[in-house]
Amino acid sequence: MAIISLPYRYLEKLTGADKETILERLPMIGSEIERLEPDHADVEFFPNRPDLFSVEGVARAMRGFLGIECGLPTYTVKPSGITFSTDPQLAAIRPYLGSAVIRNVSLDEESILSIMGLQEALHWVVGRGRSKVAIGIHDLDSVTPPFSYIASPRTRSFVPLDFDRALSLDGILAEHPKGRDYAKIVKDFPLFPLIVDADDAVLSFPPIINGERTRVTQKTRNILLDTTGTDRRAVDIAVNIICTAMAEGGATIESVAINGTGVPALAYSERTVRIRECSDLLGVELSAPEIAHLLRRMRFGAEPEGNDHVRVQVPCYRADIMHDWDIFEDVAIAYGYGNFNAGISKTFSIGSAHPIRILEGQVRSILAGLGFLEMMPFTLTNERVMYDAMQRPRSSNALAVMHPISEEHTMVRTDILPLMLEMLQANKHRELPQRLFATGDVVRGVQTSEKVSGVSCHGTADFSEAYACVDALARELSMPYTVKESDDPAFIDGRRADVMVNGKAAGVFGEIHPAVLTAFELEHPVAAFELDLTAVPGYHGLQDSP
Amino acid sequence: MMAELTYNEKRLLAALAGKKQADAATLAAALNTTQDAVVQWAHLASDRGLVRLERTTNHAYDYTEEGRLYLKNGLPETQVFNSFSESVKFSTLQQHPSFNKIGFGQLRKKQKVDLKDGIVFKVSGASTQEDEQALKKPVVGGLREKELVWRGILLETESITYCVSITPQGAALVTQSHTITKELQYGIRGVGTLTRDQIISGAWKDCNLRQYDVTKLPKIVYPGKLHPYQRLIDEMRQIFLEMGFTEIHGGIVQSSFWNFDALFQAQDHPAREMQDTFYLNEHMPLPDGWERVRDMHERGGDTSSTGWGGTWDIKKAEQCVLRTHTTALSIQHLAAYTKAPVKAFCIDRVYRRETIDPTHTPEFEQLEGIVMDEGVGFRHLLGFLKEFYSRMGFEGVRFRPGYFPYTEPSVEPEVHVDGLGWVEMGGAGIFREEVTAPFGIEYPVLAWGLGVSRVAMLKLGLKDLRLLYRSDIDWIRQSPVHRAGNSGGRTA
């Protein structure tokens, strides 16, 4: 998500409407107003619309949405005569280059901030943190064309932005803040990408940092844009978005010949869409002229083609139009989400609860009937709680997360009982007796299944209480069982039993071991049980249905 | 006034009604309690002016161990005095078994005998009769008794007795009051518990069941019950079941293929980064037909889509994650049931790599729903969302454009909450053709993934999400099962 700062004065000037009108309607093209400040608004736009990451782009869209200026915006591109050559060695490093010359810019504080903000947002959203695309903006008049995009030895040096001395490319990665931030993108290559002019002066070390020499200031009148990256489409869209935004701000765009091909073209692309498909998708009957009208308000070029089709011209800055339905969403936005006649479809179907959910519901009702309160602990936990505090060996079957965010959550629970003791610990100052249970998912290996666990904490909690609960639960679940002495170290020796179903251990119950109680800071006896619900007759038939 | 009287005060008044006055011991016997209790009740009633309580201190004598011996054998002087008739040789007297120095000393001191020339004489008319009388029936204040006390034969004792008498106000109250007269009528020794024997034998007809003060506060008991959050989840499940949806269920561990790729989330999409997703060092094989998903990513398959371009990496698709959304279950359900109609939902845990704070937890519930049928469109999607929220009791629902990688058009529903304004509730949209086409799903799929904990915070009045998962027992004990105004969306 990108948050864009919109200064009211500049936004009003570019849009041709007052800020109240703009701010009221802005959320309805797909944005969220984060903050309203005295002189500007901070607005969040969706990552699929990088063309809205500048004041100029927002104004362009709002002029259409408010009906001030509709249809396809056109941009003329003259050749600059400037050429750019690329080094074939870059094919394996950072193959794609885009460029443009932007003339007659009149940069003031607001437009510089807008362009910097746009560049930053594009780096993140389109450029994936500069790895996919990186953008350099240079003062054209401080360098000499033609330009070369080369693969350079890492020892080459120049003065990077915000420094007063030259550093080698390796030195930049080690010393410059931007170098340290983005080193991981290039550090494994033997040669580094570099952009130099006719005099071999360095413009930029993409995707890391520009040279101090081409710094853009309010005095800058002509700009050279370079975009480099690993994805042709992303590189082009970044150029298109920056050039058209600056053109909206009053600049003129000129093309650069890269290896003989003039870029950018800033040309629209065309799609012919079916009005039947559009009407069906939206659930609203729209005619070809209506659809064309709505699309022009979204700044598409659009003309009906017969009764059944609309020919749509997609502006070059729209990165999100991959499919006809992307165009239909714009029809819906222009139509207004609030104007749809919202109503459920007549689809006939018979509802059914999932059998495992039904089983869990039965377990809940049995235990509530036995006086237990339900808890809903996290399924994420850690080995200390799950095994160490229980005096149980760590399970090799436990599912660990690769990059835990805290020591508390390093694995998915394999049992629920330890979490119930944690719940007692969290409630130790509350009135006794406390009888708590939880049922839900556990994971062993990668398999999810269900368990239930209950604890009873009070002065006379004992083995027979746990046994009685297990017996009641098993009877009500139609689960015949036997018991045998258990060796589970979480319980007191001689006061613990395994629940056996069809010859397999399906649970355990008894009196919690005093050392375990102490580990959970509990001061009263606890009778406890845990049952594997996969032992309930018919469980395995429940999983696959419905 | 009667209402303020304790039950025991009433019993006391009733017991006094016939007698006008009685001592505490009598009343204690009649009320089957201790004297202390009677005095305590009388104090209460006395404060109300219904009885008078008089305290009397009583003096009496008791015997020492020595005294009890003399009571049996006579005082030492009596024993000596009675061992001869008129006179006796002192040496002979000393040989007599009844002789003792204390007794002889007493007789000499009180001049009941004389000793002359070795002969002991009884003084004319002397006797120990009166001393014996004082020993056997001591009279409070008597000189001989005082002497016996001094000699350690008698003990002076002091006891306090209470006398309770009913005042005219008390008597009037008893006559007026239905409860007390009834208690009078039935006697005060009411029966506390009705027993099986009494019921069978018919004894209940004669035993008077004690009447209770029904206005007293009850003992607080807490029933076993479901977690408030589970009850809310069940409420939501009920709504979708009533609307004809099939509930689905699936594993917490999913391959990236089902969690991301099948939903046309580009392999370099930021949402797939380690930053936001719990990745696992586990891999799962891809389902048959995975190549169609690859083709869709790379070139847009056979649809009007361009695809994401680039090269799709099977290794990335095989890596497992803790599901980041239940949409991973929806797409698998659709892949298995490609024929219309499909209406399915689930409410289950999803996992995001978020730092815990009052409004973020690394796992939380998501309400997932899909509708696939001929002729369903965006208008119906908005209809289902509106229907659900209005059944949950949210009257104001509005829709804003949204963005999700796997839906188009996309929408963010918002509900209006007094005091908060418009609150964002989740995301919804129509599955992109890039999502449905590889699985041969024949019609558009309306889909939503809504925040459940957001609804819980609003409905249960919670400010800290963590309390749902690490709950205070008292909060569960005190949160009622039925919430007023919660009609489950039935309006007619």
Q: Judge if B315 and B458 occupy the same domain.
A: yes
Report DSSP letters for A216-263, one per residue.
Answer: --TT---EEEEEEES-HHHHHHHHHHHHHHHHHTT-EEEEEEETTEEE
Query: What local confidence, expressed as pLDDT, does residue B485 receive?
Result: 62
Mean pLDDT in residue range A299-319:
96
Of B252, B284, B353, the CB nearest to A379: B252
Q: Which residue of B has its CA nearest to A49?
A: B403
Asked if the Cβ–Cβ distance from A30 to B401 is below 8 Å, we say yes
Model confidence at A383: pLDDT above 80: yes
Indicate whether B486 belongs to any domain: no
Q: Within the 453-492 window of chain B, which residues sit less than 8 Å (CB to CB) from chain A?
A: 468-474, 476-477
Confidence of residue A1 (pLDDT cuts 50, 70, 90): low
Confidence of residue A484 (pLDDT cuts 50, 70, 90): very high
Query: What local confidence, expressed as pLDDT, does residue B191 receive?
Result: 66
Query: What local confidence, expressed as pLDDT, does residue A543 receive?
Result: 67
Of A284, A368, A402, the CB nearest to B226: A368
Query: What local confidence, expressed as pLDDT, does residue B264 receive?
Result: 95
Q: Judge if B79 and B191 occupy the same domain.
A: no
Query: What local confidence, expressed as pLDDT, does residue B1 receive?
Result: 47
Indicate whether B490 belongs to any domain: no
Query: What local confidence, expressed as pLDDT, does residue A201 receive?
Result: 95
Model confidence at A361: pLDDT above 60: yes
Query: What local confidence, expressed as pLDDT, does residue B487 receive?
Result: 52
Specify the pTM: 0.80
Asked if the Cβ–Cβ distance from A374 to B225 is below 8 Å, we say yes
Please give, rounded to a whole number of angstroms, the shortest distance from the CA of A114 to a CA of chain B: 23
Please give, rounded to a whole number of angstroms, the shortest distance from the CA of B488 to a CA of chain A: 17
Residue B279 in tokens: 């990745």
Indicate whether B9 belongs to any domain: yes
Mean pLDDT in residue range A213-220:
92
* A336 vs B59 pLDDT, higher one: A336
Model confidence at A417: pLDDT above 70: yes
Please give, rounded to a whole number of angstroms, the shortest distance from the CA of A326 to a CA of chain B: 6
Residue A417 in tokens: 């009982």
Mean pLDDT in residue range A86-113:
92
Residue B36 in tokens: 């202390």
Q: Within the 101-130 window of chain B, which residues sit less than 8 Å (CB to CB) from chain A?
A: none
Q: How far apart are CA B258 and CA B85, in angstroms?
A: 128
Model confidence at A480: pLDDT above 90: yes
The pLDDT tens digits for A31-78 are 999 999 999 999 999 999 999 999 999 999 999 999 999 999 999 999
Q: How far apart are CA A445 and CA A465, in angstroms?
A: 33
Range of the domain at B114: 65-152
The domain total for chain B is: 3
Instruction: State the CATH number of the domain containing residue B415.
Output: 3.30.930.10
Instruction: Output the CA–CA distances (angstroms, integers) from residue A290 to A268, A282, A520, B250, in the order listed.
Output: 22, 14, 68, 44
Q: What is the 3-state secondary structure (H, E, C) of B278-300?
A: CEEEEECCCCCCHHHHHHHHHHC
Asked if the Cβ–Cβ distance from B343 to A347 is below 8 Å, we say yes
Residue A109 in tokens: 């504080």
Low-confidence ranges of chain B (pLDDT < 70): 1-4, 177-191, 484-492
Indicate whether B489 belongs to any domain: no
Q: Judge if B274 and B310 occupy the same domain.
A: yes
What single-letter DSSP state applies at residue B266? -
Q: Judge if B412 and B305 occupy the same domain.
A: yes
Please say which residue of B152, B170, B194 terminates a domain: B152
Query: What local confidence, expressed as pLDDT, does residue B126 receive?
Result: 86
The pLDDT tens digits for A23-32 are 999 999 999 9
Q: Kindly list the residues from chain A whose CB atom is less than 8 angstroms away from the CB atom of residue B399.
A: 337-338, 340, 342
**What 3-state DSSP class applies to A445?**
coil
Q: Judge if B327 and B407 occupy the same domain.
A: yes
Q: How far apart are CA B39 and CA B37, in angstroms?
A: 5
Assess contact for B124 and B29: CB atoms under 8 A: no
Asked if the Cβ–Cβ distance from B227 to A376 is below 8 Å, we say yes
The number of helices, as runs of H, and strands, as runs of E, in chain B is 22, 17
Size of interface A-B (CB pairs under 8 A): 264
Indicate whether B464 belongs to any domain: yes
Query: What local confidence, expressed as pLDDT, does residue B177 receive?
Result: 67
Expressed in angstroms, the distance from the first to the final Cα of chain A is 38
* B209 vs A376 pLDDT, higher one: A376
The pLDDT tens digits for A490-501 are 999 999 999 999
Indicate whether B288 belongs to any domain: yes
Q: Judge if B177 and B291 occupy the same domain.
A: no
Indicate whether B117 belongs to any domain: yes
Indicate whether B13 belongs to any domain: yes
Q: Which residue of A has its CA nearest to B274?
A: A403
Q: Dmax of chain B from CA atoms?
A: 155
Please say which residue of B117, B152, B187 terminates a domain: B152
Model confidence at A95: pLDDT above 90: yes
Strand B246-247 relative to strand B342-351, pairing: parallel
Q: Which residue of A has its CA nearest to B344?
A: A351
The pLDDT tens digits for A249-277 are 999 999 999 999 999 999 999 999 999 99
Q: Judge if B112 and B238 occupy the same domain.
A: no
Residue B9 in tokens: 């005060």
Instruction: Output the CA–CA distances (angstroms, integers) from residue A199 to A157, A192, A209, B342, in the order listed.
Output: 15, 19, 19, 67
Q: Judge if B75 and B197 occupy the same domain.
A: no
Residue B143 in tokens: 């000189």
Instruction: Output the CA–CA distances (angstroms, integers) from residue B169 to B13, B172, B181, in the order listed.
Output: 11, 5, 15
Chain A touched by B257 (CB under 8 Å): no
Q: Judge if B327 and B461 occupy the same domain.
A: yes
Q: Which residue of B has its CA nearest to A323?
A: B305
Return the number of other C-beta atoms located less than 10 Å from residue A106's C-beta.
11
The pLDDT mean for chain A works out to 95
Closest CA to A206 of A287, A130, A291: A130
Q: How far apart are CA B262 and CA B308, in angstroms?
A: 13
Instruction: State the CATH number of the domain containing residue B31.
Output: 1.10.10.10
Please give, rounded to a whole number of angstroms, the shortest distance from the CA of B22 to a CA of chain A: 45
Share of chain A above pLDDT 70, in %: 99
Q: Judge if B163 and B40 occupy the same domain.
A: yes
Closest CA to B151 of B102, B80, B82: B102
Q: Judge if B248 and B361 occupy the same domain.
A: yes
Q: Kindly list the residues from chain B whose CB atom is less than 8 angstroms away from the CB atom of residue A397.
A: none
Please give, rounded to a whole number of angstroms, the shortest distance from the CA of A139 to a CA of chain B: 32
Q: Judge if B144 and B272 occupy the same domain.
A: no
